[in-house]
Structure 1
């Protein structure tokens, strides 16, 4: 079922509520980030509803069976692993704001079954293939594998499942995004037709007489912020509603261009081994790519399997807030150390420049 947009708490209020809910488990907290130590399923159950804008997380893969990753060998059968992830999925549906996005890393062997299960709670919008290329001079396990003994194609890629609220079905109504449903409901409540609302924005379609509004309600695309504000003025002027939520509270961000990787096949190089590397560490530039595309400035990013804390570092560098959950003591220490180091660098010109290239630079008062 879809989650209808509502008047959310402000970003500051939502983050303060998260900090309060996790206070008993927090080993580090500031006005930008929380690091909580413990079992993340128990922790995420403490969090308030509709409190995060992006969930970017890397659970144990199960199929890799790595001894140095907690819970990677915890499940004898695939079904038991999927049931475990389903418990998280229910909580993710609850804590993710109506215009939020969910990214889940997984193995190629488990991706299909996980995507089917998770589609009962969310609407799938992408299935990204990360090719994991190695830098020159570093072959990794791909170079060490005995090819003649393989009984299937070597699983060198990883998958990233991407979801939004809502469900994907055979009927057009079930393909609507939460924003599309919200716009339709508000328009009908105010007694305005698609034609009338289209006239306000001036976005007529050559074939579809409802113009852009019909496409927006069907979930095919979204209005610009200027178009949305014009519609808000028209809807409020009917006197049948008092206010409309802000653009950032209803429209799911998706900021892509020719200047960045916009396809669903990614070639970010994998992280080379180093002393203190997490066994499943993801490249920070790939995490920054996701966060920059799928959040507004000051949004909160949740990682339930924080590991090395790279997601938190990427979020902070881009002017976002972060919530990190980790069960292992040694990784908790690295997360806190790296966050403290990153916080010292926040005022560096290079960090400010990175954030200013992200969306909504007007909100970057935290760097001043």
Structure 2
């Protein structure tokens, strides 16, 4: 058996997702929500250091230098997704065409969302646009789960700040950590309570955190042991905080909901 940590409604796996996904049963996942490498490092102008602010990281990370091919995801994603399932994949301008090339022939619908970051990294050189938007590939077949709310809430556009403050994992710092607000918005639309959300590029566990907040189950895979251990620690701290808290403020209701439901569900 693979190395794993089982935290009630969350199954966290430390390993290569391209290999581990092949162990998953067919039609076992309700929503795939993930953030694979963007391969933007090859366009980097180098990191910039300043005395008056934090370093601007243009090089992203070493793992972003490894060539990433969306075609490697198609067969496994198609196999493990339930007929009613959805797929949402964060990406960037340089890979969106490659995703369309390999996924559009396989699914009934290929669409995209735009996440607009209200506080992007400033353009110090003032030589181009600020990099304030990221793209999200959206895939599904007829009969997919879809929780349509109001017309003005269902645009393929969402605007939030970048992940910061207490929500940001400080050590290790993941350069691509996504805010819970964006992830929860997608999860609400594309899944139901009790559904299984799967992230094969888990990072520091933000997708899982969002899924548990909304009473979903979560399966996450992460090849980097440092990020993996950060996720395990994050989930254990959430669970401990929930079980140790009796009087809570409104802002912790999602966390308390996680604790109330956690003992009744297992994989």
Aligning the two structures, in what range does the TM-score lie when normalised by the shorter sequence? 0.7 to 0.9
Counterpart for residue 183 of structure 2: 287
Does the Cα contact within 8 Å between 1:106 and 1:158 map onto a contact in 2? yes
* TM-score for both structures, normalised by structure 1: 0.58
Say if 2:134 is the partner of 1:257.
Answer: no
Q: CA deviation at 1:71?
A: 3.4
Q: Which has the larger radius of gyration?
A: 1
Residue 99 of structure 1 deviates from its aligned partner by: 0.2
After superposing the two structures, state which structure 1 stretch, 109-118 or 39-48, moved more.
109-118
Change (3 A) 1:147 1:109: farther
CA drift of 1:315 comes to 0.7
Other structure's SS at 1:100 match: strand
1:353 CA drift (Å): 5.4
Aligned runs of 1:120-135 on 2, under 5 Å?
A: 120-134=105-119
Please name the residue that 2:133 is paired with.
157
- Tell me if the contact between 1:63 and 1:110 (Cα under 8 Å) persists in the aligned partners: no
Mind listing any 5+ residue stretches in structure 2 that lack a counterpart? 43-57
Q: Secondary structure at the match of 1:127?
A: strand
What residue ranges of structure 1 are gaps of 5+ in the alignment?
Answer: 1-22, 76-80, 135-139, 166-176, 180-251, 358-362
2:161 matched residue in structure 1: 269
Cα RMSD for the two superposed structures? 2.9
C-alpha displacement of 1:154: 4.7
Count residues in correspondence: 239
2:50 matched to which residue of 1? none
Q: 1:344 to 1:338 in 2, by over 3 A?
A: same
Q: CA deviation at 1:122?
A: 1.9
Match of 2:2 in 1: 24
Q: Work out whether residues 133 and 267 of structure 1, in 8 Å CA contact, stay in contact via their aligned partners in 2.
A: yes
Q: Which structure shows the higher helix fraction?
A: 1
Pick the structure with more strand per residue. 2
Q: Which residue of 2 aligns with 1:108?
A: 93
Report deviation, 1:317: 1.4
Deviation at 1:141, TM superposition (A): 2.6
Distance 1:64 1:328, change over 3 A: same
- Three-state SS of the structure 2 residue aligned to 1:93 is helix
Mapped contact 1:37–1:332 kept (Cα < 8 A): yes
The 1-side partners of 2:252 and 2:70 are apart by: 37
Cα gap change, 1:133 to 1:263, in 2 (>3 Å): same
Among candidates 121, 126, 144, match of residue 147 of structure 1: 126
Tell me which of 1, 26, 36 is aligned to 1:59. Answer: 36
TM-score, normalised on structure 2? 0.79
